[in-house]
Structure 1
Amino acid sequence: MNAFRWITLTALAVALAVPFTRAVVAADFVDPLSSPAIQSEKAVNGTFTGVARAGKRVIAVGQRGHIFYSDDNGVHWHQAEVPVSSDLVAVQFPTPTQGWAVGHDGIVLHSDNNGETWTRQLDGRQVGQIMLEHYQRQAAQDEALLADAQRMIDEGADKPFLDVWFANEKTGYIVGAFNLIFRTDDGGQTWLPLMDRTDNPGALNLYGMRAIGDDLFIVGEQGLVLKLDPASQRFVNVPTPYSGSYFGVTGTPGAVLVYGLRGNVYRSVDHGANWEKIELGLSSSITASTVTADGRIILVSQAGHVLVSADDGAHFTQQPQTRLGPAAAAQAIGSGSVVVAGAQGLRQIPFE
């Protein structure tokens, strides 16, 4: 892995760049992995960077370990019980009751009750040791991976996970900084490192992961797009025309879209073999996406633009409402509304 550096997270939408190590630690510093999230009614107006559906419930995650849920499509919010105060970045529920959230300090949280309470499954204090033990057991040991694992142990819990995706309540993945990627097949009880199974020799940051149709994609910095090859169980490189960072991937069974810096969106209708640029007429970075129940694709920009496509992402129409300010995540909640999360809290926005 590279030495300490800054990266732009999915939370670029809130104009934050967060260092992965703390250069100065105050004498009264409290480890966020050792302190639960503070219960506060005002927290709902803070910064949120991830939002997802859990059945009919909407779940949002954000700074200082704050997780809120709504049972009326974002009109009213209630705070969940969370055992850490680490900044959270992403959340996903493959079933109405079972969900996972990830974030800074290598934290992975799990809920089995529709997001009301959460438990710790993994944190950055364990990640390096898991990597080291796994790669030590391999017959043909990779010295670079062993060195990376030892460095993770030495540097402590300073690397974030940036996205999570589960196919069901047992099998899922977490991805993050410097090519961090793990898989579980037992609902997060154990985690398998997959750093040796990605075509990512530069250990570029992995920002987003989603299944589109039968394909599982990962996107990251410097134009990185990876797709799981089922035969080899390896994430192979998928070339695209753009060399800037992609922050997310979305789409329908007929089309996959990757999006990122400076309004760049590319679309493929042949499983990633060929890509075309989708012109949005924006220079703002695209930081979030969601798909409605009827298949419309929604993109949200760093500046708060909301764009909607009804033709599998071939064309987008910008919505006329007032800009929302920095946006980091979006979740469709009905045929004509979306919950947008960002620096100004959580807002329910209608669209046409």
Structure 2
Amino acid sequence: MGSYNKKIALLMLGVLLTLLHRGVQAATYVDVLDLPARPSALAARSPLLDIAQAGQRLVTVGQRGHILYSDDAGQNWRQADVPVSSDLNAVHFPTAGQGWAVGNDGVVLHSSDAGATWSKQLDGRQIGDLMFKHYSDLASAEPGNEQWAGLAAEGQRLIEEGADKPFLDVWFANDQLGYVVGMFNLILRTEDGGQSWTPFQDRTDNPQGFHLNAIASTGDALYIAGEQGLLLKWDGAGQRFAAVQTPYQGSFSGVVGKPGEVLAYGLRGHVWRSTDGGATWHPLASGVQSSITAAIVDADGRFRMFTQAGHMLVSGAGDAALQRLPQAQQSPVAGAALAANGALLLVGSRGVRALPVE
């Protein structure tokens, strides 16, 4: 066989092997929404994105569907049984036993055993249908209301685009009433512990459809933080999330607070404080340029804030500035929580680590 014929033969063999390989891949492909998270001895050192208290237990979530829990203040971690491999962005436990986690691909998970095992309540393959039906029914009941038709069309668009819209945060008032929020004004509410979900896009003052980055309670109010200066507050009388005016036009990544005081934080170290329910806001100097990515109220009632670069900042009531605390090691922080023994647990790109509270 001549060299030219050999080249043709090798080329054809390569094409055949490629087609066979692709056929095997196609035959063995499993959607991450149907693929359980794989056990990993390195899960506690893999990227983790949020952490929460479940009574005395700590529960953290992260990439590839990893959920871990600890009963000894973060010294040892066990990996939970999770039915999906989607990246998980947030976790919340309103009670010691009942908890919810959300993430990419529109996934919503529920645990009734303090985070040891999880079941899927919702994913992005269902959300478009859910929205389309809900707003189509409203459009039929009020044919002259253009808002319903527009939101039904948004539901149809989600059906066509598939399960690619992530939920970014979750909050529950108790084991029945809760919200999940995400990109492009994606927000759903449940009143039965996640057995059913109601689209809530018509109940937010967010006409431009900005991302909803976080939802949190301050004890006396419920806020949603979003991009491009969007800050919403639950209005019980109007049964909607009403816009709160702030002097800041950058994106908010979160809200932390306690009755009578709330801090909204975001890009490049920006922090704004309100002590009158969001009527007026004043800047709180952070001394850093890194984005603030997590915040908690510690056992002494002080605000502790953490940045993408790993800074730890602390503030007391009435302080004009945050104080930066030195650390022996510094790594990016995505979430923070306090353990029952007072230890501070931080999660981020390098997994989880415990620090004594100073």
How does the TM-score come out when normalised to structure 2?
0.89
- Where does the alignment leave 5 or more consecutive residues of structure 1 unmatched? 1-25
* SS across alignment from 1:33: coil
- One-letter amino acid matched to 1:85: S
Aligned to 1:268: 274
The root-mean-square deviation of aligned C-alpha atoms, in Å, is 1.4
Pair 1:177-2:183 in alignment: yes
Aligned to 1:135: 135
Aligned to 1:296: 302
Deviations 1:125-169 (A, max 9, x none): 000111111111112252211111000111110000000000000
Q: 1:216 aligns with which of 219, 222, 227?
A: 222
Q: What is the alpha-carbon distance in structure 2 between the residues aligned to residue 29 and residue 246 of structure 1? A: 38
- One-letter amino acid matched to 1:206: L
Percent identity over the alignment is 54
- Where does the alignment leave 5 or more consecutive residues of structure 2 unmatched? 1-24
Aligned to 1:332: 338
Pair 1:234-2:240 in alignment: yes
C-alpha displacement at 1:313, in angstroms?
6.4
Residues 32 and 56 of structure 1, relative CA distance in 2, 3 Å threshold: same
- One-letter amino acid matched to 1:168: N
Q: What is the alpha-carbon distance in structure 2 between the residues aligned to residue 239 and residue 269 of structure 1? A: 14
Pair 1:63-2:63 in alignment: yes
Q: What is the alpha-carbon distance in structure 2 between the residues aligned to residue 293 and residue 349 of structure 1? A: 14
Q: What is the alpha-carbon distance in structure 2 between the residues aligned to residue 53 and residue 313 of structure 1? A: 28
C-alpha displacement at 1:309, in angstroms?
2.0
Q: What is the alpha-carbon distance in structure 1 between the residues aligned to residue 319 and residue 333 of structure 2? A: 20
- Any residues of structure 2 matched to 1:197-212 within 5 Å, and which? 197-212=203-218
Q: What is the alpha-carbon distance in structure 1 between the residues aligned to residue 214 and residue 37 of structure 2? A: 25
Are 2:269 and 2:286, in contact at CA under 8 Å, matched by a contact in 1?
yes
Pair 1:115-2:121 in alignment: no
Aligned to 1:96: 96
- One-letter amino acid matched to 1:162: L
Aligned to 1:13: none
C-alpha displacement at 1:113, in angstroms?
0.3
Are 2:92 and 2:100, in contact at CA under 8 Å, matched by a contact in 1?
yes
Are 2:136 and 2:149, in contact at CA under 8 Å, matched by a contact in 1?
no
Are 2:46 and 2:63, in contact at CA under 8 Å, matched by a contact in 1?
yes
Pair 1:167-2:165 in alignment: no
Deviations 1:277-330 (A, max 9, x none): 000110010000112233221100000011122326654221111342111111
Q: What is the alpha-carbon distance in structure 2 between the residues aligned to residue 294 and residue 95 of structure 1? A: 22
Q: 2:159 aligns with which of 133, 153, 164?
A: 153
Residues 131 and 312 of structure 1, relative CA distance in 2, 3 Å threshold: farther
Q: 1:310 aligns with which of 313, 316, 335?
A: 316
Q: How many residues align?
A: 327
Tell which structure's C-alpha radius of gyration is larger.
2
* SS across alignment from 1:243: coil
Are 1:297 and 1:313, in contact at CA under 8 Å, matched by a contact in 2?
no
C-alpha displacement at 1:222, in angstroms?
0.3
Aligned to 1:54: 54
Aligned to 1:72: 72
Q: What is the alpha-carbon distance in structure 1 between the residues aligned to residue 252 and residue 266 of structure 2? A: 4
Are 2:36 and 2:82, in contact at CA under 8 Å, matched by a contact in 1?
yes
Q: What is the alpha-carbon distance in structure 1 between the residues aligned to residue 80 and residue 289 of structure 2? A: 36
Residues 302 and 91 of structure 1, relative CA distance in 2, 3 Å threshold: same
* SS across alignment from 1:105: helix
C-alpha displacement at 1:29, in angstroms?
4.5
* SS across alignment from 1:146: helix
Higher mean alpha-carbon deviation, 303-312 vs 277-286, is at 303-312
Deviations 1:169-212 (A, max 9, x none): 00000000000011101000000100011110110000000111
Q: What is the alpha-carbon distance in structure 2 between the residues aligned to residue 284 and residue 295 of structure 1? A: 24
- One-letter amino acid matched to 2:322: F
Aligned to 2:22: none
Q: What is the alpha-carbon distance in structure 2 between the residues aligned to residue 115 and residue 333 of structure 1? A: 15
- One-letter amino acid matched to 1:321: Q
Are 1:267 and 1:314, in contact at CA under 8 Å, matched by a contact in 2?
no
* SS across alignment from 2:33: helix
C-alpha displacement at 1:351, in angstroms?
3.1
Are 1:319 and 1:351, in contact at CA under 8 Å, matched by a contact in 2?
no
Are 1:288 and 1:328, in contact at CA under 8 Å, matched by a contact in 2?
yes
Q: What is the alpha-carbon distance in structure 2 between the residues aligned to residue 236 and residue 350 of structure 1? A: 39
Residues 33 and 313 of structure 1, relative CA distance in 2, 3 Å threshold: farther
C-alpha displacement at 1:333, in angstroms?
1.9
Residues 86 and 313 of structure 1, relative CA distance in 2, 3 Å threshold: farther
Are 1:35 and 1:83, in contact at CA under 8 Å, matched by a contact in 2?
yes
Are 1:207 and 1:218, in contact at CA under 8 Å, matched by a contact in 2?
yes
Q: What is the alpha-carbon distance in structure 1 between the residues aligned to residue 301 and residue 125 of structure 2? A: 41
